[in-house]
Amino acid sequence: MKDTKLRVAAASVRGQSHRTENTPCQDAVFEERSSYLSGVCVADGAGSCVASHIGARITTEWTARYVRREFAAMFEEPDAGSSKLLIDLKHHLTSEAALCGCKPSDLSCTLMFAFAETRRREVRYLCGNLGDGVILMQQNGITEILMDADNGEFANQTWFVTSSDANTHFRVCTGSCPVESLPGWLLATDGAWPFLYRRSSGTVARAAQSLLEDVRTATPRRSQIALSSFLENMIIPRSSDDCSIALLQTIAHGRHISRRPIV
Amino acid sequence: MNIKQDRYQTLDSDPSPRLPVCFLIDCSFSMQVVQGGTRTGERVARDGNIYDVVKGGSSPRITEVIRGFEGFINDILNDTRAKSSVEIAIVTFSNKVAIERDFGPVDTGLKSLQFNAMGDGTRLGLAVKTGLQMLDRRKEDYSEYSISYYQPQLIILTDGEATDKEVCSEQARHVQQRMQKGKLISLPFLIGDEKEAGALRDFSPDQELLRIDGVNLVALFRFLSQSAIQQSRSTAGGNESVNLKKMIAALRQNIVPAGSI
């Protein structure tokens, strides 16, 4: 157990249209780190809601702390745990909305999280997804879709934490895998994932694989810089939307870190 | 006049959500009609009608359509998000139906499009059928490239009664079904002061007819571009049927006179 660690990296970048309009980035990311339990949380604020950037920030911070605290209970009973999370989150958003002087629906956003706990021989994980983001999972060096985007036929149809039927669309998955498989997770909002994953064929781009590998092999600071640079230089010029990516990766401590430059 | 372009252009490199907008534009001879002017005494018989030839007057309807369309393209190109989202297809119709431009991104080349309104007949039904087929095919392209899309728009501009009424009735049923399921925004506009709207009414939401004066076409296109920009920015949680009603209400308030027909 002493040898296995978790590492996180996350970044949000404001999209071209929000830069032009001088409006804030409506995505938010938040990381939680502790010795054997770490995770990342991502939210994409609803474009039509005035304070959704605040909602996304509140939602990621609150959810990350909640899942860290309730990980064991949610892992054992994911359905009940996710329902309770949504109820408590809605209460929290209602009180925050009152403080902000807006309606709870003004804080609408999607929600994704991935948390992992390292144990003696295995890594237990808990992922949640509500809305149009995707979560990819890497295991034994192979990256595949774990939780796909949930939206209707049209681009402007998805579900938020404030939606009345959010509970029906909130998907949570749990699992465990051997430490040796070095599992990793990549969470991406709808502004970013179309560049990393082709839904029709289920194909994951090499870039997704590389980002996850970088978190494992580079120093935390360098992998964070690499991620921000990837969003800014590779995605933003080709997308008008805000873009966020969060990475959670297992490392066998002391065996993988390299100081080689990241390409 | 067809502008050849690769229908897959940019789909592979730009996965932004798309908003397909299909324009069906009447190019029958009556679109040459102007308002006002001085009669020369000369008369022209076309398409079962007799037209007085005049000097001066307003621009012909088709010229206003071209002007309005150019403004539409400018508006879209000036909006970062709409520029990468909106895709335009243009179908013209008279006694024949022609695909002037298949779906593709908005580019400056579209501003130089010209439409010759010299045809006889108004095969509206066939034009709608073509437009719906093009929309369906484009949605398949989006799915193939894993690109999400917004509720497609079908915009019809005509100044006369359809001459293929049976096809019209059949296509009107398809359009109404799609609108009821929230899968299509259909906005038919009757240009001018024709007394009978005929089948056109059946292509509109709640069978409301939207009449537009020939001189207000530029304003109409401005409204349409703003609607497309708004739709390309819309995000989840919105109720599309409500949006459509809002759109119609705003049109009635600003451009289309209330109580017409």
Banded pLDDT at B4 (limits 50, 70, 90): very low
- By CA distance, what is B181's nearest residue in A? A153
Residue A262 is assigned to a structural domain of this protein: no
Banded pLDDT at B13 (limits 50, 70, 90): confident
* Residues of chain A falling short of pLDDT 70: 1-3, 253-263
Residue A159 is assigned to a structural domain of this protein: yes
Q: Measured between CB atoms, which of A151, A195, A198 is closest to B148?
A: A151
Flag if B143 and A241 touch (Cβ within 8 Å): no
Query: What are the residues of chain B with a beta carbon less than 8 Å away from any beta carbon of chain A?
Result: 13-18, 79-81, 83-85, 143-151, 183, 231, 233-238, 240
pLDDT at A104: 92
Contact A78, A72 (CB under 8 A): no
pLDDT at A71: 97
Dist. CA B258–CA B135, nearest whole Å: 31
Banded pLDDT at B5 (limits 50, 70, 90): low
Flag if B81 and A17 touch (Cβ within 8 Å): yes
Residue A261 is assigned to a structural domain of this protein: no
pLDDT at A140: 94
Flag if B238 and A156 touch (Cβ within 8 Å): yes
Helices (H) and strands (E) in chain A, counts: 6, 12
Q: Which domains does chain B have, with CATH numbers?
A: 19-254 (3.40.50.410)
Which pLDDT tens digit goes with each residue over B93-129? Answer: 999 999 999 999 898 888 788 888 777 888 999 999 9
pLDDT at B196: 62
Residue A70 is assigned to a structural domain of this protein: yes
What CATH number is attached to the domain comprising A175?
3.60.40.10
Average pLDDT, chain B: 81
Banded pLDDT at B1 (limits 50, 70, 90): very low
Flag if B15 and A239 touch (Cβ within 8 Å): yes
pLDDT at B261: 35
**Span B55-65, average pLDDT:** 82
- By CA distance, what is A26's nearest residue in B? B235
pLDDT at A32: 93
For residues B47-80, one letter each, b for 16 or more C-beta atoms within 10 angstroms of the residue's C-beta and e for the rest, the string is beeeeeebeeeebbbbbbbbebbbbbbbbbbebb
Which pLDDT tens digit goes with each residue over A23-54? Answer: 899 999 999 998 889 999 999 998 778 899 99
Domain assignment of residue A151, given as a range: 4-252
Residue A30's beta-bridge partner residues?
A41
Secondary-structure breakdown of chain B: helix, strand, coil percentages, each rounded to the nearest 5 = 45, 25, 35
Nearest alpha-carbon partner for B92 in B47, B26, B153, B158: B26
Return the top range by mean pLDDT from A242-256, B58-72, B169-183: B169-183
How far off is chain B from A216, nearest CA to CA, in Å? Answer: 28
3-state secondary structure of A183: coil
Nearest alpha-carbon partner for B30 in B42, B43, B41, B46: B46
Q: Over 60: is that where the pLDDT of B258 sits?
A: no
Flag if B16 and A158 touch (Cβ within 8 Å): no
Q: Is A195 on the interface with B (CB under 8 A)?
A: yes
Q: Over 70: is that where the pLDDT of B255 sits?
A: no
pLDDT at A113: 98
Between A134 and B188, the more confident residue is: A134
Which pLDDT tens digit goes with each residue over B212-253? Answer: 776 677 888 888 888 888 777 666 554 444 466 677 777 766
Neighbour order of strands in the sheet with A111-118: A27-32, A37-44, A111-118, A122-130, A171-178
How far off is chain B from A33, nearest CA to CA, in Å? Answer: 32
**Span B158-184, average pLDDT:** 90
Flag if A195 and B150 touch (Cβ within 8 Å): no
Between B7 and B103, the more confident residue is: B103
Dist. CA B77–CA A57, nearest whole Å: 32
**Span B16-34, average pLDDT:** 88
Contact A192, A244 (CB under 8 A): yes
Flag if B151 and A154 touch (Cβ within 8 Å): yes
Q: Domains in chain A: how many in total?
A: 1
